[in-house]
Amino acid sequence: MADTNTPGSLLVGEGVFMKGSMRVPGLASIDGKLEGELTADTVHIQTNGSMNGRTTASHVKVAGAVTDTTIANKTLVIESSGLIAGSITYTELEIKRGGSLQGSINKVGQQPQNFAPPSPPVAAPPEPVVQATPAPAPAPAPAQAAAPTPAAASIPAVAVKAAPPANDMGRKPKN
């Protein structure tokens, strides 16, 4: 980071915390912490620097951390130690190996697009097969005891014995 402040520039040194809305006509170099809104021609977030809020500039270079909204109207460079998270809009983008970009990303002049892969076509479900089921048969009417007729009264009662089981379980073993 430069030791002198040129006119129209902002330098936020390491260990410094600033909060608010800033408009910088030249370079804004952040090595401390900045929270709020920053508009500048060029923004450099140094390795120890962080910006939380809305950052708008023609050129943005990030070696530290930027969160919330970042708009780079010309170039956005993320250094190997840099992290940008949130809503990001850029014209030209460069991410060095190790740099991190998280959030929604849009190119200047393009409408946000949904890049979810299209789902495969879904086949129409087969039409249900309707089978006619016969109505349940009506329950038989309960038998009513009829008065014995003279012929039925003359039939003698017969005793019925059960047949022996078909297997050998009830028999005695042979010797």
Least confident residue range of 46-50, 75-79, 108-112: 108-112
Pair 9, 29: CB distance under 8 Å: yes
Mean of per-residue pLDDT scores for the chain: 80
Do the domain assignments include residue 46? yes
Structure tokens at 153: 């009264």
pLDDT at position 169: 53
Give the pLDDT band of residue 6 (cuts 50, 70, 90).
Answer: confident
- Whether 124 shows a pLDDT value over 90: the answer reads no
Do the domain assignments include residue 41? yes
Do the domain assignments include residue 15? yes
Do the domain assignments include residue 120? no
Do the domain assignments include residue 44? yes
Residue 69 CA to residue 54 CA, distance in Å, equals 5
Nearest to 88 by CA among 63, 117, 54: 54
- Whether 38 shows a pLDDT value over 80: the answer reads yes
Structure tokens at 108: 């200047």
- State the residue range of the domain holding 17: 10-96
Do the domain assignments include residue 72? yes
Determine the average pLDDT of the residues in 47-73. Answer: 98
Total domains, the chain: 1
Residue 67 CA to residue 87 CA, distance in Å, equals 8
pLDDT at position 27: 97
Q: What is the DSSP string of 111-155?
A: -----PPPPPPPPPPPPPP----PPPPPPPPPPPPPPPPHHHHTS
Residue 45 CA to residue 159 CA, distance in Å, equals 110
Residue 79 CA to residue 43 CA, distance in Å, equals 13
pTM: 0.62
Do the domain assignments include residue 135? no
User: How many angstroms separate the first and last alpha carbons of the chain?
Assistant: 113
Helix intervals (H) in the chain? 150-153
